[in-house]
Amino acid sequence: MDGNLGSSADWVVTGPSNGLAFLLADSGYDVWLGNNRGNTYSKNHTMFLETSYGFWDFGWYEMGIYDLPAMIDFILQITGQKQLFYIGYSQGGTQFFVMNSMKPEYNDKIRLGVTFAPAVFLGNTKGAINLLSKLSYPIGSILAGLVPYFPAGCSTKQLLHFGFGFENPNTFRQYDYGVAKNLLKYKSVTPPEYPLEKVTVPVAIYHGTNDFLVDPKDINLLENKLKNIVRVSICNASLNHFDFNYGSHIRMEAYNDALKLLEGY
């Protein structure tokens, strides 16, 4: 599963020598590439037009509790397998932890979860992206109502939900609708935390020290929350967040090691 604003193409665009989908296929795996709702390859809906508010009223919560479980169940049904390997980059890691914490029965359907720069805790995010956190609360309800499909390829709600993570360090919570709606929806003024203690699937994490979105301090916090970490790999210090899909040396830095780990399972 790709990151926010990405698609299945991200796993093949770097070509047969570096694209992870190619490397997995060459190693004999049956490779399934997911597309989250709202991206270039996933814009059909049985009820709503793409230009309607209803189409774009979603975030990565829905991707974690509806879309990802549906994909997994479909793959297992078609292949006749009881388990699969899961690989997620950035938001692909986010929805993985949402699913396994909120629907813990899916822990048993995954043999190993490999996450590249998983965007879970975001309190130490650096750079211009922090502007989103400053705008999340004052303009969140306005944007969600008027332009829920901005920017192309994801919903406003997705971006704002990440923004709430920047604004509230050390938290991994459900969507914040504001005090009044939170009380109605959650019976609490603040959104509930995702219960990461329910994530029991073996997990590997690959991250870089030069990642301006997913800071090593936030990765350390995630490590401390999970029960079954089997691998934490700190990649080359020069790697940034986007290198985990597009970096010219990412095969050497992370993919080859991940392939060995998969083989061990």
Q: Domains of the chain: which residue ranges?
A: 8-264
- Tracing tokens 């991206």 back to the chain, one arrives at 39
Instruction: State residue 129's pLDDT score.
Output: 53
- Nearest to residue 133, comparing CAs of 125, 143, 145, 142? 125
How many angstroms separate the CA atoms of 81 and 64, rounded? Answer: 21
Q: Which residues of 112-124 are buried (b: 16+ CB within 10 A; e: fewer)?
A: bbbbbbbbbbbbb
Considering the domain 8-264, what is its CATH architecture? Answer: 3-Layer(aba) Sandwich (3.40)
Q: At 232, phi and psi to the nearest 5?
A: -125, 115
The phi, psi pair for 201, rounded to 5°, reads -65, 145
Residues 93 and 119: beta-carbon distance below 8 Å: yes
Instruction: Please tell me the distance from the alpha carbon of residue 120 to that of residue 54, in angstroms, as a whole number.
Output: 26
Cα of first residue to Cα of last residue in the chain, in angstroms, is 20
Strands (DSSP E) found in 65-138: 84-89, 110-116
CA distance 9 to 148: 24
Is the distance from CB of 171 to CB of 194 less than 8 angstroms?
no
Contact call for residues 68 and 76 (beta carbons, < 8 A): no
What local confidence, expressed as pLDDT, does residue 151 receive? 38
Taking the C-alpha atoms of residue 46 and residue 43, their distance in angstroms, rounded to an integer, is: 10
Alpha carbon 229 to chain centroid, angstroms: 17
Per-10-residue mean pLDDT for the chain, 265 residues long?
Answer: 89 92 97 89 79 78 95 98 97 97 98 97 75 46 39 70 90 94 95 97 94 93 95 84 88 95 96
HEC profile for 57-115?
CCCHHHHHHHHHHHHHHHHHHHHCCCCEEEEEECHHHHHHHHHHHHCHHHHHHEEEEEE
d(CA 224, CA 208): 18
Distances (CA, A) of 233 to 76, 105, 123: 29, 27, 21
Q: In sequence order, what are the beta bridge partners of 207? A: 234
- Cα–Cα distance for residue pair 41/151, rounded to 1 Å: 15
Q: What are the structure tokens assigned to 142, written together?
A: 């306005």
Q: Global pTM?
A: 0.88
Residue 221 CB: number of other CB atoms within 10 A? 18
Angle at 81 between CA 76 and CA 86, to 5 degrees: 65
Rounded CA-CA distance 251/154 in Å is 27
